[in-house]
Amino acid sequence: MGLGFTLQLEAAISIVVQTQSMEDRTVNRLFRAFVVIALLVTAPQHGIVADGMSTLSGRVVDINGSPVAGFGLRLEPVHIESDEMVDDSEQGEDIKVFESRTDGMGRFFIDGIAPLKHQVLPRRGSDYEIQSMKFGAVTVHQHEPSPFGGIAFAIKPGARIENVEIRVKARNHIRGRIVFADGTPLLNARIGISARHRSPDGTGSGSSSSSGKTDADGYFMYHAEETAFYTITVTYEGLSATAAPFLLREGENKEDLVFTFDSAPIPSDATDGRIEVYADASTSSSPGDSAAWVVNPENGHIYKKIHCQSWDDANIQAVAENAHLVAINDAAEQEWLSKVFGDRPCWIGLTDFAKEGEWAWESGEPVTFTNWAPHEPEDNDWGDEDFVWMGFSGEWSDVGADSVEWQMIRMAIIEKDGVTGTPSDEK
């Protein structure tokens, strides 16, 4: 592969090694937010693309080396905070997310890639997680699973990276069906999913919460990350049901769970008065779509998820739309936001920028509710942390411009205090 390639690879891996000497709490937080094994891929070994844009192609295989057809692949720009790897001049490019789906032989091809740092990861909701990427004779393993499930690398301008092998592993899943007391299934509905797990030897336990959606037959899917005894609870419109605990081993799936709500059927149509989409906001009208305004019937406010570069960028976009970054005033609003917009990390409007330690909503509303993650809020070695993001479990964490999360969080929820516009005819 060449000495230059080897030296760059060694420098990239040293980034991860250096983090091991940090305080445990800081390391845990770093990995919780973003775990990167970075690989600098140089162009000369693979050819040059004349227009300066790059290409990436190869195939996706399972742990046995068999091709994985129909695998959804995403390529997302990232910003890696490291003395060796940051090149701010590259960050001026427009953010573009590439998606590709493998053919029957597991092959994929992505072109038009700008010279940024990127990560390859499965499409959201994929039944697979990435284990490694092989570039020629060099294989990069993802030793520490990231919340985003990807491996990061940088492509130099004009590189044509070919014959990359991405090895993936099927994720354990739990499949359940939700029905009402009379046996009627809950169809096409957004639900809350809570999972408690305990290791078989009793030495560890944990829990997580997320949102999901039932299909046209009332089924939903939940991906499990480890061998454990699981207890799953589902919620919908104030109803809940819990399945008996069961053991899920590595490589196994649970397919036969049935959750029964002790209630007469409740319509699951999102346009029955509980959620409405407004025509002046977007040509797209799917609840939870990042381009659509959605009304919360409990308070009459409308909300939208947006793409952004940072907390400041999100705030600027909100003001431009006569809105503000979301202010979450109670547990009910928190739960509604999770159900409608999902659990991808996003900025919210809480800040103590004006006065350290005095948290305030950017909208000016009083702080009547918080949902901090354990040990938060707390400044650490990354400097002042004056802004807040909401993570996968719905819990909040504070970060600053020097925090690793600052350049990773690319979504925000904005809010308008009152409903404007006319409900769309297109639901």
The pTM for the full model equals: 0.44
Q: Compute the mean pLDDT over every residue in the chain, rounded to the nearest whole number.
A: 74
Run of H or E residues at 411: strand 411-416
What is the average per-residue pLDDT within 241-267?
Answer: 89
Q: Where are the extended beta strands (E) located within 237-340?
A: 239-242, 246-248, 254-261, 294-295, 302-307, 324-325
Which of 51-55, 134-138, 248-252, 280-284 comes out lowest in average pLDDT?
280-284
Beta-carbon-side half-sphere exposure of residue 190 (alpha carbons within 13 Å): 19
At residue 213, does pLDDT exceed 80? yes
Query: What is the per-residue pLDDT across 173-201, written as a single tens digit (0 to 9) for each?
Result: 888 999 999 999 999 888 888 888 898 88
User: What pLDDT, on the 0 to 100 scale, is given for residue 291?
Assistant: 56
Token couple for 283: 């040509």
Task: Give per-residue pLDDT as tens, 289-312.
Answer: 445 788 888 888 999 998 888 888
DSSP type of residue 352: -
